[in-house]
Each structure stands twice: as structure tokens, then as C-alpha cells.
């Protein structure tokens, strides 16, 4: 651009010189008219050159202005790119720092995972031990229920089955839930052991009849009944092992040991129709035929 401006300046100076210069030899050898005509031609040519030069200068100025405009736009683009590069650099540094933090956290989590696995393994061992204990306690309760009086046997046995089956299945019951159910069942069995009650149910007799009867329960060791007509009664007893058939259990109707009025009085006491008093009930017989007259 500098060279171009120098060239234009020189051309302007040259044109000015040519406008003011009249050749001496021409003025001496030609007449005045020819000199004036030549001068006019030179002036016309110079004016054309000046106009062309002016147009060239105007064009160059426009191009220079456009050049600086483009340069400014490019400078702005370059500045924006620099800002983007700086932002990307800062983002990259942040990502690198975050990656380092994540790596450290993963190492920490790896150690925590090992500790959790160890804890889970220990918990699993304790859970297995607790499950075995629950199954053992369920077995003891089942043995007590089966050896005791036939009071709500299906319901009590079903609760025991629910606990034992829930632990043994492929989708086991939660161990805490099993403990809660076992504890509830133990409390219920304890309540049965220290309470007495009277209730109505059917009794299966040897002749096939199933009359209604009043049942007397005392704890978990005494269960007796009497039909509404008072003709049939009995007490649930366990026979000792010295019998010929070994130890057996069943309903016993023995007037000598458990007279009907004893059961009747027990019913009245529990129904608050008779003042409380001590009543003797046998718990086991050694010389009585079990299931005498009953199914």
C-alpha cells in the first residue's frame, strides 16, 4: 500500500509539471496557433490523466476502507476465537481436575466396596445363624403344640409353617419379619399358658355325631368339654409309656377321675355363674384307655 501511494504522488507531481511546461523549441519553431493547439491537447491529456488518477485514488481509498473493515472483522473473529480457546482451555483444565477427583473418589469407593462386601459376608453369616436359630425355635414350638392340648391346632400350626417355609424358600422372608412373627407367636403361646377360657365348638363322637359342646381350657395343659345335653363329656389326657401301646393321647371319659359335675362346675366358674374354687383335673393317666368313646 505504501508503494502504491508513493507512485500516485509521483504521478500527480509529474502531471503538474507537464501542465506548466511548454517546450521551448516548439514555441520557437512553430507558430502561435500550433503551440496553443498543442498546449490544449496536452492539457486535455493531463486532465484525463488527472481524472483517471483521481478515480484511481478514490477507488484505492474505498479499497483501503474495505480492507480495514475486513481487517477489523477478522480481528474481532480472531479475538472471539482466542476467547473460545481460553474458555475451552479452562474447561479442559476443569475436566482434568474433575477426572482426578473422580479417580480419587473411585479409589475411595473401591475400598468402601470391599468393606461393604466384608460386612455383607459377616451379616450373611449372622443371618444364616439367626435363621437356623429361628428354625430351631419353631421346631421346639411345634413339638410343644403337637404334644399339648388340641386347641386351635390348625391356626397355630399354620403360623409355624409360615415362618419355617418363609425362611426355607428360594425367596426367603425378611429375617426381621420372621423374628417379629416368631416373637408374636411366642407371646401368644405364653398368653395361652397363663390364661383360661371357655368357648363353643363341635366334638366328633364315636357314633358319628358332632354335637355342639362347651370347652374349658386351662393354660396349655387342661382341655375338657361337655355337650349341651350333658350326656357326653371328656378331658384331653396323655397316657404314660408303661402301657402296652406306648404313650398316646386322646379324649378320656372316666367318671371316676373326671366326673361330669367337675367339668360343669368349671364351665360355670368361667362363665361367672359360680364362685371361684380349686378344682382337680388329671393331666395324664397310666391305666386308662385313650379315646374311649370318641374319635
User: Helix or strand or coil: residue 183?
Assistant: helix
Mean pLDDT is highest, among 2-16, 61-75, 117-131, for 61-75
- Mean pLDDT score, 206-227: 89
List, in order, residues 6 or more apart from 264 with CB less than 8 Å away: 226, 230
Query: Taking the complete model, does pTM exceed 0.85, yes or no?
Result: no
**Residue 185 falls within a domain, yes or no?**
no
pLDDT score of 137 more than 50: yes
Compute the distance between CA of residue 33 and CA of residue 52 in angstroms, rounded to an integer: 28
Q: Cβ-count burial of 203 within 10 angstroms (0-12 exposed, 13-18 middle, 19+ buried)? A: buried
pLDDT score of 30 more than 80: no
pLDDT score of 231 more than 50: yes
**Residue 251 falls within a domain, yes or no?**
yes
Band (pLDDT 50/70/90 cuts) for residue 158 is very high
**Secondary structure letter of residue 174 according to DSSP:** P
Position 24 scores a pLDDT of 45
**Residue 275 falls within a domain, yes or no?**
yes
Contact, 12 vs 68, CB < 8 A? no
User: Helix or strand or coil: residue 233?
Assistant: strand
**Residue 35 falls within a domain, yes or no?**
no
**Secondary structure letter of residue 253 according to DSSP:** -
Q: Which three cell numbers stand for residue 35?
A: 503551440
Range of the domain at 292: 196-295
CA 121 and chain centroid, separation: 21
Overall number of domains in the chain: 1
**Residue 211 falls within a domain, yes or no?**
yes
**Residue 183 falls within a domain, yes or no?**
no
Comparing 31-45, 62-76, 152-166, 221-235, the range with the smallest average pLDDT is: 31-45
**Residue 148 falls within a domain, yes or no?**
no
Compute the distance between CA of residue 146 and CA of residue 157 in angstroms, rounded to an integer: 9
**Residue 263 falls within a domain, yes or no?**
yes
Compute the distance between CA of residue 13 and CA of residue 16 in angstroms, rounded to an integer: 5
C-alpha separations of 185 from 155, 168, 178, 188 in Å: 11, 18, 10, 5
- Mean pLDDT score, 143-167: 88
Contact, 233 vs 260, CB < 8 A? yes
Amino acid at each position: 500500500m505504501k508503494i502504491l501511494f508513493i507512485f500516485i504522488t509521483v504521478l500527480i507531481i509529474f502531471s503538474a509539471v507537464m501542465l506548466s511546461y511548454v517546450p521551448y523549441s516548439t514555441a520557437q519553431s512553430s507558430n502561435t496557433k500550433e503551440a496553443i493547439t498543442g498546449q490544449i491537447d496536452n492539457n486535455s491529456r493531463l486532465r484525463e490523466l488527472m481524472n483517471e488518477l483521481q478515480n484511481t485514488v478514490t477507488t484505492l481509498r474505498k479499497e483501503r476502507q474495505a480492507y480495514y473493515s475486513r481487517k477489523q472483522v477478522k480481528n474481532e473473529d480472531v479475538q472471539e476465537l482466542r476467547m473460545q480457546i481460553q474458555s475451552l482451555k479452562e474447561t479442559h483444565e476443569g475436566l482434568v481436575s474433575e477426572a482426578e477427583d473422580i479417580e480419587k473418589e473411585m479409589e475411595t469407593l473401591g475400598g468402601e466396596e470391599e468393606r461393604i462386601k466384608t460386612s455383607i459376608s459377616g451379616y450373611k453369616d449372622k443371618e444364616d445363624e439367626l435363621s437356623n436359630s429361628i428354625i430351631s425355635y419353631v421346631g421346639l414350638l411345634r413339638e410343644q403344640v403337637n404334644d399339648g392340648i388340641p386347641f386351635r391346632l390348625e391356626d397355630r400350626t399354620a403360623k409355624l409353617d409360615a415362618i419355617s417355609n418363609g425362611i426355607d424358600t428360594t425367596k426367603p422372608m425378611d429375617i426381621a419379619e420372621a423374628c417379629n412373627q416368631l416373637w408374636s407367636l411366642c407371646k401368644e403361646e405364653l398368653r395361652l399358658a397363663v390364661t383360661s377360657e371357655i368357648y363353643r365348638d363341635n366334638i366328633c363322637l364315636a357314633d358319628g355325631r358332632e354335637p355342639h359342646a362347651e370347652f374349658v381350657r386351662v393354660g396349655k395343659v387342661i382341655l375338657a368339654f361337655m355337650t349341651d345335653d350333658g350326656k357326653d363329656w371328656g378331658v384331653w389326657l396323655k397316657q404314660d409309656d408303661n402301657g402296652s401301646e406306648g404313650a398316646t393321647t386322646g379324649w378320656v371319659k372316666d367318671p371316676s377321675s373326671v366326673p361330669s359335675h367337675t367339668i360343669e362346675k368349671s364351665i360355670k366358674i368361667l362363665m361367672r355363674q359360680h364362685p371361684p374354687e380349686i378344682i382337680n383335673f388329671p393331666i395324664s393317666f397310666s391305666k386308662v384307655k385313650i379315646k374311649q368313646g370318641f374319635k
